[in-house]
């Protein structure tokens, strides 16, 4: 009975947390993607949807693979320890994937901002461009 309880609790909690995190990232991440894609909302929404699908596939796959770790708990205490281990690892993986996504989005945003900003070098170059040599005072050309 403890074995079935451990599976049900693990799957229920880990899937619920994954769905909550995925929905939160999807709804709150849109504005970052719109900014990263220079205001192109269609592109941002498309990428946001693709990120959500990939996030769910990766995490649901990990949750399924991690289901059989830890063996069969013999006591209620062992069940709690096993669940805390399994859920802790799932949450760490969720966090790592989130950080990786944020790093990628930040990189996309930086590249987009660099493309939007005019380069200041031509103004600097024109201001300090070399001129034709001038004659010394009292010297004619």
19-77 pLDDT, tens digit per residue, is 998 899 899 888 888 888 888 899 999 999 998 998 899 989 989 888 877 777 888 88
> Is residue 138 assigned to a domain?
no
Q: What is the mean pLDDT of residues 11-25?
A: 91
Write down the pTM of the prediction.
0.68
> Is residue 25 assigned to a domain?
yes
Q: State the total domains in the chain.
A: 1
> Is residue 135 assigned to a domain?
no
Range of the structural domain that residue 75 is part of: 2-112
Q: What confidence score (pLDDT) does residue 56 get? A: 92
Instruction: Answer yes or no: are the C-beta atoms of 33 and 48 closer than 8 Å.
Output: yes
> Is residue 36 assigned to a domain?
yes
Q: Measured between alpha carbons, how far is 102 from 36 in angstroms, rounded to an integer? A: 11
> Is residue 61 assigned to a domain?
yes
What is the crossing angle of helices 76-116 and 2-36, to 10°? 10
Residues 81-114 have pLDDT tens digits of 888 998 898 889 888 888 887 888 788 778 777 7
Instruction: Answer yes or no: are the C-beta atoms of 20 and 91 closer than 8 Å.
Output: no
Q: How many CB atoms lie within 10 A of CB 17?
A: 16
């Amino acid at each position: 009975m403890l074995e079935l309880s451990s599976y049900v609790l693990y799957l229920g909690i880990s899937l619920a947390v994954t769905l909550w995190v995925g929905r939160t990232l999807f709804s709150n991440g849109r504005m970052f993607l719109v900014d990263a894609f220079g205001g192109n909302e269609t592109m941002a929404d498309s990428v946001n949807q693709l990120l959500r699908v990939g996030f769910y596939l990766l995490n649901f796959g990990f949750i399924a693979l991690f289901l059989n770790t830890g063996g069969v708990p013999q006591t209620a205490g062992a069940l709690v320890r096993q669940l805390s281990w399994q859920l802790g690892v799932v949450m760490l993986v969720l966090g790592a994937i989130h950080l990786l996504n944020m790093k990628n989005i930040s990189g996309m945003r930086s590249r987009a901002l660099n493309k939007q900003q005019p380069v200041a070098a031509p103004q600097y170059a024109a201001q300090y461009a070399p001129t034709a040599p001038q004659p010394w005072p009292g010297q004619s050309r």
